[in-house]
């Protein structure tokens, strides 16, 4: 089982990212581990299925469970057959206390890294920084809890809408607490802008910065901010097909290959607009690097969407 544990734990960051991105209707940030993790997850699922089959064939695992049929004799049913439908349910595994502890720790680390520059920009003292981090991690935990519930394919449409409404309410409550904590309009606007560009910022820090650096003509701080703002603006365009949540109603059963292809087509359209508008503040060499960066992000987005589909629909018990 040790070989299974490694890819499962390695998948936690992508699972939490995919689940929360699903809930918030924003694209999951590209993770360069996606392609490698996809093959590891497939191998792990095959191994788990094989071990479960071997376990089911072992008669000495547990004593038979006696069941009584109405107006009939007592029958013996192997416990493995009774338990089988509930085994391997990823959503239940992620909801377990041990796995939730791992997810919470991983998300806290993501916040520490992802918001580090913002903490510096806001010039928070150690006590303020710690309080701010607690607000952010508590909000993230609530969103993850709600997203795990939404991964259940058996809830009714009405219940799904209730969960989405409750999620919006919880987010509004935490945002109000954050706004009160920051206590200045300028700081609040900086925070909102940071969150609005978070997917673009994560992708750029993961891949874009190194590409531009290797090109010999890195972006200035001003150019970086212009590019991130432009990308976020194009992503949120009213002409966009929207995020996964917009297309599926937060139902993992609706995440089809057709939806994924529509998302990729939207990325291609967005990339053309970004490349055209970026001509006003990038040099010819930088524009060439930008095109390479956008192509790589598109390729990794396709892999990430495929992983998200596998994760979310595995969480649905498929």
pLDDT digits (tens, 9 = 90+) for 14-43: 454 555 454 444 555 544 444 444 455 555
pLDDT value of residue 49: 57
Q: In the block, which residue shows the tokens 């013996």?
A: 76
pTM (predicted TM-score): 0.67
Q: In the block, which residue shows the tokens 């990729």?
A: 264
pLDDT value of residue 72: 44
Residue bearing the bigger pLDDT, 145 or 286: 286
In this model, does residue 275 exceed pLDDT 50? yes
Per DSSP, helices labelled H in the chain are 2-24, 34-56, 79-83, 90-95, 97-114, 116-122, 126-150, 157-182, 185-196, 198-203, 209-214, 221-235, 244-248, 257-277, 284-315
Above pLDDT 70, what percent of the chain?
A: 64
CA distance 270 to 29: 16
pLDDT value of residue 244: 56
DSSP summary character for residue 12 = H
pLDDT value of residue 211: 96
pLDDT digits (tens, 9 = 90+) for 73-123: 444 444 433 333 333 366 677 677 888 788 888 888 889 888 999 999 999
Residue 303: Cβ within 10 Å count: 18
């Amino acid at each position: 089982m040790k070989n299974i544990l490694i890819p499962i734990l390695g998948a936690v960051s992508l699972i939490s990212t995919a689940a929360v991105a699903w809930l918030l209707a924003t694209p999951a940030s590209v993770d360069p581990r996606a392609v490698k993790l996809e093959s590891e997850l497939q191998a792990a699922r095959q191994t788990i299925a094989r071990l479960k089959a071997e376990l089911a064939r072992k008669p000495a695992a547990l004593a038979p469970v006696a069941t009584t049929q109405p107006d009939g004799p007592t029958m013996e049913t192997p416990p493995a057959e009774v338990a089988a439908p509930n085994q391997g349910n990823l959503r239940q595994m992620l909801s377990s206390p041990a796995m939730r502890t791992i997810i919470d720790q991983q998300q806290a680390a993501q916040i520490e890294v992802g918001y580090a520059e913002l903490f510096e920009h806001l010039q928070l003292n150690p006590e303020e920084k710690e309080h701010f981090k607690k607000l952010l991690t508590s909000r993230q935990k609530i969103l993850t809890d709600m997203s795990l519930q939404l991964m259940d394919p058996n809830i009714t449409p009405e219940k799904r809408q209730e969960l989405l409404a409750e999620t919006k309410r919880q987010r509004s409550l935490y945002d109000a607490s954050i706004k009160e904590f920051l206590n200045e309009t300028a700081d609040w606007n900086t925070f909102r802008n940071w969150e609005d560009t978070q997917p673009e910022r994560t992708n750029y820090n993961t891949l874009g910065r190194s590409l531009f650096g290797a090109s010999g003509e890195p972006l200035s701080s001003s150019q970086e901010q212009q590019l991130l703002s432009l990308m976020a603006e194009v992503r949120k365009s009213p002409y966009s097909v929207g995020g996964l949540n917009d297309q599926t109603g937060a139902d993992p059963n609706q995440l089809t290959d057709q939806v994924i292809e529509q998302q990729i087509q939207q990325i291609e359209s967005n990339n053309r607009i970004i490349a055209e508008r970026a001509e006003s503040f990038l040099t010819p060499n930088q524009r060439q690097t930008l095109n390479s960066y956008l192509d790589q992000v598109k390729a990794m987005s396709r892999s990430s969407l495929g992983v998200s589909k596998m994760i979310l629909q595995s969480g649905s018990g498929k």
